[in-house]
Structure 1
Amino acid sequence: ACLQVDSRGSPLIDSFEIDVVPCIRINPGEKPFTAADRTPLHTDFVKSRLGQRNTEVRLLKAFFKAIGVYGAEIRVQGFSGYVSELLVIHYGSFTDTVKAMSRWSVKRVFIDMTGAYNERDAIRKFKSPVIIIDPVDPNRNAAASISRETLAMAIAAAKEFIKNPRIDFFLSNHARPKPLRVLPTVILRIPYPNGTSPDVVWGEVKRLMATLIKNLRELDFRIIRSMSWSDDKSIILLMLTLEQLELPPYELHKGPYVDSEAVENFVRKYVNDPSVIGPFIRGSRWYVIRSRKILNAIDAIKHIIPMVSLKNLKNSISRVEYITIKSLDDLTTLSPNERGVVEEFIYARPWWLT
């Protein structure tokens, strides 16, 4: 092997980019200084327990990659390579692992090969949908990265594989049908911030998307589906499908219960306001019908974005482009790569669902 350095200063071995991660040698049971310090211990444990089942692990990793749940990074929130190895060690083989996954509960998965915990104590301590006690460090949940949605996807795909096993479940590329119709969709195209690690960027992307969804709902926009995507190089896409892009000009505004101390202020605020209808009583509360301040979804998003504290995306978000998708023809304005991503989002159905 030939060690080289590229123009950015990144180390290469035979043209393959590598990461150099320092760690401190520790013994089993010692507290690590960094997460990387556990890696040699993980390697030793896997070698001592996996035996000749490397192919079983490769199959499981390929399966996870094919259904889009492989990787502990923030953008995926899925199954790490180490967790894949632990699952094969625990269940015995790829087939037995997938069979077990098909029977998992989406509420909770608990695996402890150390015998250090009962399930109730583990749930109280780790508070994650998937808890796999790290055999090297019983104070750590090796599966802490896995989100509930990722768990649900893994369970559903495992059920489908058991019902209809096929080679596609081990391939990274799949033919994806084109959507036959579209629902109103807003896309935010954001330039990727140079020199920032994907995990840092994705932390802010997730926070931005969560804030958009929460505040759009508070403004009465109904979010049907959302997804974030990035090539981690040049572009970030935030996609939101809504029930409608324009709201009616008026809203029903709920006031206090008639026996509440807040009634006087509510009635005084609106009783002489010529722009509202009411106040009136419906059921046991006061209401008014008033004009909305924001009617358009993109206007709402522009109003919400400044509420989010963004450090690495701050400059990028100032150059955001807004794209509205109302028909299939609107997809033609996108680049081929972006169009494929958006079409997959709009089609919505997992490729493996038949």
Structure 2
Amino acid sequence: MNWKRLRTKVLEQYGPTDEEISELRKHYEKVSDIIESKYGLETHFAGSASRETCMTGDNDIDVFVLFPSKTSEEELKEKGLEIGKKVFEELNGEHHIEYAEHPYTKGEINGLEVEIVPCFDVEATDIRSSVDRTPHHSRWVQNNLDEKQREDVVILKAFLTCAGLYGSSLKVEGFSGYSCEILIAEFGSFQELMEEAKDWNGDTVIDPENHHEKLPESLENKFSGDSLKIIDPVDPERNVTSVLSTENYAKFIYSCWRMSEEPGMDFFTVEETDVTEFEISQELEKHGDFLVMEFDTVDEVEDIVYPQMRKSMRALNAEFRRHDFRVYNSGFFVGEDRIKIFFEVEMDLPEIKYVEGPKVYHNFKHMSQFQSKYENTFIKGERIYAKTEREFSDAKRLLKAKMEKARKLGVPERIADELNEFRFTEPTDGSDEWLKYLAEKLYITGDQ
């Protein structure tokens, strides 16, 4: 399919209508009028709806309340919540309080999701909290994207959504909406981005305002662990894609390569994994041994649970490797009431282990050190070896023993407390969502 026709078809499916944009703006103005008339404070319409880069059906309205820079932190918090509650009451909406660097109100008004966020009205060089950047982000996008490019941002968001790469939460570890806007502004169009990104390497820097050339070495080092560095146009000390995982970055490059090779609507269709328990059972027979354990879901927000689970998985995988067990695959699934962890692992090892020591040639110091650690030593070839018994020869017993001391492995406290109550389960026991997740981890689909 040629790019022009593809662009038209994608926008027909994912582009917001003029009516949608107009309706969202009208609701923003209602909220803004209440805040300005009752409190005398200006507001800023933020988010993709304000910039017309939202996908159809995106019903989010982000209203930032601009407090003078001389306002105290405490006053901003208290007044910000008071304003938010008042707006929801006036417009017959339901709301609750959420927390970022400071609290804000979030809820629903006439079927739309509304956030009312207090921030300081300051210059970009003088931000006091991360939300203070948002109005500057909006203004930068407004000044750097034309109408066609806004449409290309929508196309990019749809592309990333269907690839499972859209979202900057710590659950997804993908691309934010703002990063999509910067990418289109930088490369000019979705097509050009696809052509360029397929050749990216592991140290790509995108710096629209050329901040990076001016940064001292200490700030360059700050970004050294990030595969993709998109320097925030309004804050040179921030990488917009710092949350992007290495694997998701690789998936993005791969998807761009495939898209540039053969553009088509397949890349804008969410592939639903629909496999049966029987199909998964058959697939498992072709794999190594599986260990699946579950425990109660931790009562924390996703941005806490997911990083803690990743840290826990690193610790558990390290224990398997330390005791010589090969792990072929592993993962975790966070359900509504259960967290599941799985390992495709070498289940049994010989009880006897042979430890390789140094070569014998004029290496008396090292041989003496080796000999002092082990009793049963012998020569094989040019080296000294030791015969010893493994602490664990059964993977399940190792996992069970380590769970009893999870905190000592570096597993976060809340996760460790729940892990103490874990139980082993069969791989196919669980919800449909768990089975779908397992199918994806095993790289199987329902049509094979």
Deviation (angstroms), 1:123: 4.8
Match of 1:312, SS?
helix
Distance 1:312 1:222 in 2: 28
- Seen in structure 2, the aligned counterparts of structure 1 residues 193 and 175 have a Cα distance that, compared at 3 Å, is closer
Q: 1:35 aligns with which of 111, 130, 136?
A: 130
- Seen in structure 2, the aligned counterparts of structure 1 residues 115 and 279 have a Cα distance that, compared at 3 Å, is same
Which segment drifts farther, 258-267 or 53-62?
258-267
Distance 2:325 2:317 in 1: 9
Deviation (angstroms), 1:17: 5.2
- Seen in structure 2, the aligned counterparts of structure 1 residues 264 and 163 have a Cα distance that, compared at 3 Å, is same
Paired residues in the alignment total 334
Residues 295 and 419 in structure 2, CA contact (< 8 A), matched pair in contact too: yes
Q: 1:49 aligns with which of 105, 119, 144?
A: 144
Structure 2 stretches lacking a partner, 5+ long: 1-90, 99-104
Deviation (angstroms), 1:319: 2.5
- Greater C-alpha radius of gyration: 2
Query: Normalising by the residue count of structure 1, what TM-score does the alignment of the two structures yield?
Result: 0.84
Match of 2:298 in 1: 193
Q: How does 1:38-117 map to 2 (within 5 A)?
A: 38-52=133-147, 53-105=149-201, 107-117=202-212
Deviation (angstroms), 1:181: 2.4
Distance 1:55 1:298 in 2: 53
Q: Percent identity at matched positions?
A: 25
**1:318 and 2:415 are equivalent in the alignment:** no
Equivalent position amino acid for 1:287 in 2: Y
- For residues 17-53 of structure 1, what are the alpha-carbon distances to aligned partners after superposition, in whole Å with 9 as ceiling and x for unaligned? 55554332221222x2222221111111111111212
- Seen in structure 2, the aligned counterparts of structure 1 residues 238 and 49 have a Cα distance that, compared at 3 Å, is same
- Seen in structure 2, the aligned counterparts of structure 1 residues 282 and 68 have a Cα distance that, compared at 3 Å, is farther
**1:239 and 2:342 are equivalent in the alignment:** yes
Distance 2:411 2:106 in 1: 31
Match of 2:43 in 1: none
> Which structure has more RCO (C-alpha within 8 Å, separation ≥ 6)?
1
Equivalent position amino acid for 1:253 in 2: V
Residues 176 and 344 in structure 1, CA contact (< 8 A), matched pair in contact too: no
Which segment drifts farther, 117-126 or 258-267?
117-126
Deviation (angstroms), 1:348: 6.1
**1:207 and 2:302 are equivalent in the alignment:** no
Match of 1:131, SS?
strand
Equivalent position amino acid for 2:339 in 1: I
Equivalent position amino acid for 1:144 in 2: S
Deviation (angstroms), 1:129: 0.9
List 4+ stretches of structure 1 deviating above 6 A: 6-10
Match of 2:353, SS?
strand
Which segment drifts farther, 210-219 or 158-167?
158-167
Residues 308 and 415 in structure 2, CA contact (< 8 A), matched pair in contact too: yes
Distance 2:170 2:208 in 1: 26
Query: Normalising by the residue count of structure 2, what TM-score does the alignment of the two structures yield?
Result: 0.67
Distance 1:324 1:238 in 2: 11
Distance 1:255 1:23 in 2: 63
- Seen in structure 2, the aligned counterparts of structure 1 residues 108 and 265 have a Cα distance that, compared at 3 Å, is closer
Deviation (angstroms), 1:96: 1.5
Distance 1:209 1:124 in 2: 27
Distance 1:43 1:253 in 2: 61
Match of 2:400, SS?
helix
- For residues 138-187 of structure 1, what are the alpha-carbon distances to aligned partners after superposition, in whole Å with 9 as ceiling and x for unaligned? 12111211222111111111112222333232233434565552222222
Q: How does 1:328-343 map to 2 (within 5 A)?
A: 331=428, 333-343=429-439
Equivalent position amino acid for 1:90 in 2: E
Match of 1:292 in 2: 390
Distance 1:198 1:18 in 2: 20
